[in-house]
Amino acid sequence: MSDFCPQRFKKIFPLLCLSESEGKPLIYFDNAATTQKPQNVIDATSNYYLNCNANVHRSSHQLSRSATALFEKSRVDAQRFINASSEQEIVWTKGTTEAINIVAQCYGSVFLSKDDEILLSHSEHHANIVPWQEVAKRTGAKIRVLPLTSDGKIDTDNLSTYISPKTAIVACTLISNTVGKVNDINGIVKAARNVGAKILVDAAQAVAHIKIDVQSLDCDFLVYSGHKMFGPTGIGVLFGKRELLMKMPPYQFGGEMIKNVSFSGTTYGELPFKFESGTPNISAVLGLSAAIKFVEEYREQFVQYERALTEYCFKQLNQIPNLTLLFTDIPDIPVFSFIIDEHHNQDIASFLDTNNIAVRAGHHCAMPLMEYLSLDGCIRVSLAPYNTRAEVDSLINVLNQYLTQELRTTVDETSALEDINH
Ligand code: PMP
């Protein structure tokens, strides 16, 4: 066991410390929605405005040169983080959603046609469904959907039923935001390669937990958001293989993405600038670079702790009467989705909230998954390495409290009714 100390780790996150010092410690179990931000990320973001605020890539002054150097150094950090072969393969986006939209619009809508198929899975986030529906509408291509195994992973046993020479693109999540299991993306990539299909990997939930190597994965596109890995909101990455990005037309048009503009015609810039029109979110790029360094520094240390915490939380949740996890075996990352018989998930989440425990209830932007499981929603508890066993114990206590109170209310209501009837 490593000597990782969650309490010490938590001290790096000002918001969590503030809630403690105000005597109302927040138990933040909504990390799959967004993680809290460590001090170095906050510092990197504000340092830009405090010390080097200038536009990038254009002005001829010292301040702009410093900002540009930091901005482009961040791209090298992002390249190293997923082992892309060139920084030209790293495109800054607003996040995962925008990155998928770029691929859908600039690859899907341009290169697919009516005889093609787009292969998704039942556990995709809406961000990896809706853009493809739009591609299907525009091109006439058909969407097919991979089923899940009983433990919630993408079923790769019968890939040949779904992947054929008609398959033009496979877009799948590495880890679903509701299931928390690592999908066999290697198997999917191999099958896609055999028929010449392109593959996009949604790594939004994976980057904070597992090391990614796009070269050994051999995917064509991989996307993620900074805010789910301790970075700022409003920034994400589209990795794309150079030869594909070269073939694709730009996403948006304007300044920054051009080589030469005249009224007789415009030529576009080199990669990756061709996809980065307008002034970018410079402070968030610098913040993401700090988040990358943060994850690189701590991931080895917290991985074992996170596993032990996952096992503990899984065991404890299983002891709550009438609580059913959507999938019965332990998730690979600490994301637990469940329902409790006869209780609406929103009521439970509100009760937890009044006890300062932040969870998410609803469809988790995965309505097709809810439909697949015949559910209208569920509760999701998602942990990060600053969470502790004591916090899990508090969750279990509050859930038990809620259930006994509810039981009491139901019994009281029944006896009141009986009194009236007598
Ligand atoms: N894919 C997955 C698996 C996600 O969990 C999320 C965010 N919940 C997204 C895509 C969309 O990310 P963003 O909202 O940051 O664009």
ipTM: 0.99
- pLDDT recorded at residue 223: 99
User: Using a 6 Å cutoff on CB, does residue 95 contact ligand 1?
Assistant: yes
CA-to-CA distance for 236 and 180, rounded, in angstroms? Answer: 21
Q: Among 5, 172, 313, 365, which one carries the catalytic annotation?
A: 365
One-letter-per-residue 3-state SS of 28-86: ECECCCCCCCCHHHHHHHHHHHHHCCCCCCCCCCHHHHHHHHHHHHHHHHHHHHHCCCC
Q: 393 pLDDT exceeds 60?
A: yes
* 298 CA from centroid of ligand 1 (Å): 23
Reported as a pLDDT band with limits 50, 70 and 90, residue 166 is very high
- pLDDT recorded at residue 100: 98
Give phi and psi for 77, each to the nearest 5. Answer: -60, -45
Pairing of strands 27-28, 357-358: parallel
Q: Where are the beta strands (DSSP E) in 122-253?
A: 142-146, 167-173, 198-202, 221-225, 236-240
Contact by Cβ (8 Å): 113, 258? no
Q: 412 pLDDT exceeds 90?
A: no
Contact by Cβ (8 Å): 289, 296? no
Kindly tell me the sign of the dihedral angle through the C-alpha atoms of 211, 214, 220, 224.
positive
Residue 106 is a catalytic residue: no
Among 225, 335, 382, residue to substitute to test ligand 1 (most atoms within 8 Å of Cβ): 225
CA-to-CA distance for 382 and 208, rounded, in angstroms? Answer: 12
Average pLDDT, the chain: 95
Over residues 44-82, the pLDDT tens digits come to: 999 999 999 999 998 899 999 999 999 999 999 999 999
- pLDDT recorded at residue 405: 84
Residue in 116, 139, 258 with CA at minimum distance from that of residue 197? 116
User: Using a 6 Å cutoff on CB, does residue 35 contact ligand 1?
Assistant: no
User: Using a 6 Å cutoff on CB, does residue 122 contact ligand 1?
Assistant: no
Q: What size, in residues, is the chain?
A: 422
* Residue type (1 letter), 166: K
CA-to-CA distance for 121 and 143, rounded, in angstroms? Answer: 10
User: Using a 6 Å cutoff on CB, does residue 217 contact ligand 1?
Assistant: no
Reported as a pLDDT band with limits 50, 70 and 90, residue 410 is low
Percent with pLDDT over 70 in the chain:
95
- pLDDT recorded at residue 422: 46
- Report angle CA 175, 31, 227 to the nearest 5 degrees: 85
- pLDDT recorded at residue 316: 98
Q: 408 pLDDT exceeds 80?
A: no
- pLDDT recorded at residue 406: 67
The partner residues of 258 in beta bridges, in order of sequence, read 268
Query: Residue 94 CA: which ligand 1 atom is closest?
Result: 16
Residue in 208, 369, 187, 179 with CA at minimum distance from that of residue 303? 208
Query: Residue 95 CA: which ligand 1 atom is closest?
Result: 16
Over residues 259-313, the pLDDT tens digits come to: 999 999 999 999 999 999 999 999 999 999 999 999 999 999 999 999 999 999 9
User: Using a 6 Å cutoff on CB, does residue 183 contact ligand 1?
Assistant: no
- pLDDT recorded at residue 407: 58
* 379 CA from centroid of ligand 1 (Å): 17
Over residues 113-147, the pLDDT tens digits come to: 999 999 999 999 999 999 999 999 999 999 999 99
Residue in 216, 354, 285 with CA at minimum distance from that of residue 74? 285
User: Using a 6 Å cutoff on CB, does residue 204 contact ligand 1?
Assistant: yes
In angstroms, what CA-CA distances link 193 with 51, 82, 106? 47, 20, 21
Reported as a pLDDT band with limits 50, 70 and 90, residue 22 is confident
Over residues 219-272, the pLDDT tens digits come to: 999 999 999 999 999 999 999 999 999 999 999 999 999 999 999 999 999 999
Residue in 51, 86, 82, 83 with CA at minimum distance from that of residue 72? 86
Helix axes 282-317, 39-51, angle to 10 degrees: 170
* 20 CA from centroid of ligand 1 (Å): 29
